């Protein structure tokens, strides 16, 4: 019987190695591909799509949520499991909207990850039940995707000019988006807005 081909995406090398060893110890699972960030992972997946993608959420260059959305947009048949330390309802809601089938916290027992890979591979959904209940009773994310992209970069300390260059927008447009995001969140400045949005899992 062929093994389930897994791609593992995690920016911390030691954690990635430990997860790979854990999954490779299973007789029916093989970690065939590994990457340190979402952008690198997407390049590899477009050439050689795995059966299941296991990815962290918070990573440099492209987050796990952005990667899941890109997988869906590319029409890949790869099924996605999010593995994160953050029990944030906003993250789970966005993951579900991106077509993610699995969402696990890193503090769960190790055996649950391999079981989740098998179940997601069969097309089943695997979500921490307590987090799922919290997510559907939580606030709705008020940010648009563009506001989120800009606020994420501004919160990392990029200037308006840098954000505008990176996203191909005018500086005035970037300022308008930031102003709108700050207004929605009731924030006093862009850093405060980014902090508030990240705490709710909206970034």
- pLDDT one-digit tens code per residue, 169-179: 999 999 999 99
Please list, in sequence order, all residues whose beta carbon lies within 8 angstroms of the beta carbon of residue 200, skipping any fewer than 6 positions away. 88, 89, 90, 138, 139, 141
pLDDT, average across residues 105-117: 86
pLDDT surpasses 90 at 137: no
pTM: 0.68
The residue whose two tokens read 């966005």 is: 94
pLDDT, average across residues 134-140: 60
Q: Return the CA Rg of the chain.
A: 18
Sheet holding 79-84, edge to edge: 29-35, 4-9, 52-55, 79-84, 102-105, 126-127
pLDDT surpasses 60 at 136: no
- Region of poorest pLDDT, from 39-48, 111-120, 130-139, 179-188: 130-139
For 4-136, the fitting CATH number among 1.10.3720.10, 3.20.20.70, 3.40.50.2000, 3.40.50.2300 is 3.40.50.2300
pLDDT surpasses 80 at 1: no
pLDDT, average across residues 136-147: 76
Give the angle subtended at the CA of 198 by the CAs of 160 and 147, to the nearest 5°.
40
The number of beta carbons lying within 10 Å of the beta carbon of residue 180 is 17
pLDDT, average across residues 106-131: 86
Q: How far apart (Å, rounded) are the C-alpha atoms in residues 144 and 138?
A: 17
Query: Domain spans of the chain?
Result: 4-136, 145-199
Fold held by 145-199:
Arc Repressor Mutant, subunit A (1.10.10)
Compare 162 and 92 and report the one with higher pLDDT. 162
- 43-98 pLDDT per residue, tens: 999 999 999 999 998 888 888 989 999 999 999 999 999 988 877 777 787 888 88
What pLDDT does 169 receive? 93
- 120-135 pLDDT per residue, tens: 999 999 987 666 655 5
In terms of Cα–Cα distance, which of 97, 92, 105 is closest to 132?
92
Compare 32 and 96 and report the one with higher pLDDT. 32
Write down the mean pLDDT value for the chain: 88
Strand partners, 7: 33, 53
């Amino acid at each position: 019987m062929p093994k389930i081909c897994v791609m593992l995406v995690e920016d911390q090398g030691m954690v990635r190695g430990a997860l790979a060893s854990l999954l490779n110890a299973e007789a029916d699972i093989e970690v065939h591909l590994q990457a340190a960030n979402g952008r690198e992972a997407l390049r590899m997946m477009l050439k050689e799509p795995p059966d299941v993608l296991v990815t962290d959420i918070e990573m440099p260059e492209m987050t796990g949520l952005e990667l899941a959305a890109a997988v869906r947009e590319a029409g890949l048949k790869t099924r996605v499991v999010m593995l994160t330390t953050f029990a944030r309802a906003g993250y789970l809601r966005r993951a579900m909207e991106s077509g993610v089938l699995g969402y696990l916290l890193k503090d769960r027992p190790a055996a649950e990850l391999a079981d989740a890979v098998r179940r997601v591979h069969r097309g089943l959904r695997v979500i921490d039940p307590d987090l799922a209940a919290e997510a559907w009773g939580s606030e709705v994310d008020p940010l648009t995707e563009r506001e989120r992209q800009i606020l994420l970069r501004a919160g990392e300390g990029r200037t308006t000019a840098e954000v505008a260059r990176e996203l191909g927008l005018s500086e005035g447009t970037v300022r308008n988006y930031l102003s709108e995001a700050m207004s929605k969140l009731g924030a006093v400045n862009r850093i405060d807005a980014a902090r508030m949005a990240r705490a709710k899992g909206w970034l």
